Amino acid sequence: MSEDERKTILAIDDDPIILNQIMSILKDGYTIRPFTSGEAALKFLEAHPVDLILLDCNMPGGMSGFEVLAKLHDTADYKSIPVIFLTGSVDGDDEVNALANGAMDYLLKPIKDRSLAKRVSLQIELQDYRNELTQLVAARTEELRLANTKLLEREKITLDLLARAGDLRDHDTGEHINRTTNYVRIVAEDLVQNPKAGYELTVLRAQDIVEAAKLHDIGKVAMPDGVLLKPGKLTPEEFDIIKTHPIHGAQLLDDAVDKLGDDDLLREARNIAYAHHEKWNGSGYPRKLVGEDIPLSARITAIADVFDALTSERPYKNAFSNEDAFRILYEDAGSHFDPYLIEVVKRHEKDFENIRAGIGRE
């Protein structure tokens, strides 16, 4: 074995004779660092890594072996160094106490040469094995993390793609989806930060809602161009067709849920697609749901969707100013919109304005 590959053993005993004995037994296989006090040995450890520690139990005049052991155990960098305790008492509780306090093994004095060599090599072998396992687990964990990150990234990109494809005909840049999603994020993050009965959101659920909101209008793929792109007011018959887009969206997402099984993100996407045109007072469509029967995610998206529609130009309308858009939202609190969520919006006007202006947020 070359010098570099040698393991280093810290030997701590107040008796130089014992230290000499340890050196003579182990010097051929290991680099031995002998110390006659715990204090000096701990000082040495601060700057030098070691592979194993032989520790005398009883060292009158300085730190006892137990005190050194406690110090090793409390220090993150030293915690994993195996310690073999050396004890002179045959009848006392030293061995039990040593093992209970983190020592890996103990030897009774007088030390038997072959016993020491054997125990030391066993502990070194175990330690190598532990280190190898730790490295394997770390490497595997990192691999999994990378694979998972890649999958999540792909999922996000696929959802974006789908949402943009669905929106291509009436809004060609994808900006409507980005802004709507960001308004949803502002409201959802406020609910995470400020828990209120009936409105509790975990961080994860908020993230799902933000992603799912992208697909709110996916059902518009089933709308004929003549209706969707009509430059002017819709007839009641045409609006009846528009009113089916949430149903088309829900059906598309139901199919996806059937294939994947229960999935939080897809379930939110379905809720949002189905219920984003419902109104708090029950006058919305397609199901005329009332109040809290409308899923929270859809109530949030309704506000985001309308704010963006109001502040945007459409084939059938000019853009309102932010001020007018907020005024319309606030007037419709309790009729169209969930009044508590409108209170949340009032706390974040500045964030909404920044998103509208394309500042900040992705």
Residues 6+ apart with CB under 8 A from 94: 57, 85, 87, 106
Closest CA to 55 of 88, 84, 15: 84
Span from 21-29, 82-90, 112-120, 220-228 in contact with ligand SIN (CB under 6 A): 82-90
Are the beta carbons of 352 and 310 closer than 8 angstroms?
A: no
Query: What tokens does 44 get?
Result: 């040495």
Q: Rounded to whole angstroms, how far apart are CA atoms 121 and 49?
A: 18
Stretch that binds ligand C2E, among 124-132, 136-144, 227-235, 259-267 (CB under 6 A): 227-235
Under rule CB under 6 A, which residues in 296-355 are in contact with ligand C2E?
305-306, 309-310, 314-317, 328
CA separation for the pair 332, 323 (Å, rounded): 14
Is position 217 an interface residue for Fe ion (rule: CB under 5 A)?
A: yes
User: Interface mask (CB under 6 A) for ligand SIN, residues 3-22, using x and -?
Assistant: ----------xxx--x----
Over the window 88 to 127, marking each residue x when it contacts ligand SIN by CB under 6 A and - when it does not, the resulting string is xx-------------------x------------------
Rg, Å, the chain Cα set: 35
Burial 322-353 (b: 16+ CB within 10 A, else e): beebbeebeebbeebbbeebbebbeebeebbe
Q: Work out what residue 24 binds among ligand C2E, ligand SIN, Fe ion, none; the CB cut-off runs from 5 to 8 Å by kind.
A: none
Q: Which helix (H) or strand (E) holds 356?
A: helix 349-356
Nearer to ligand C2E, 69 or 228 (CB): 228
25 interface partner picked from ligand C2E, ligand SIN, Fe ion, none, CB below 5 to 8 A per type:
none
Q: Among the candidate windows 84-92, 139-147, 183-191, 266-274, which touches ligand SIN by CB under 6 A?
A: 84-92
Q: With helix as H, strand as E and coil as C, how does 138-189 read?
A: HHHHHHHHHHHHHHHHHHHHHHHHHHHHHHCCCCCCCHHHHHHHHHHHHHHH
Site string for ligand C2E, 149-188 (x = CB under 6 A): ---------------------x------------------
Instruction: Name the site residues for ligand C2E (rule: CB under 6 A).
Output: 170, 230, 233-234, 242, 277, 305-306, 309-310, 314-317, 328
Instruction: Name the site residues for ligand SIN (rule: CB under 6 A).
Output: 13-15, 18, 56-59, 86-89, 109
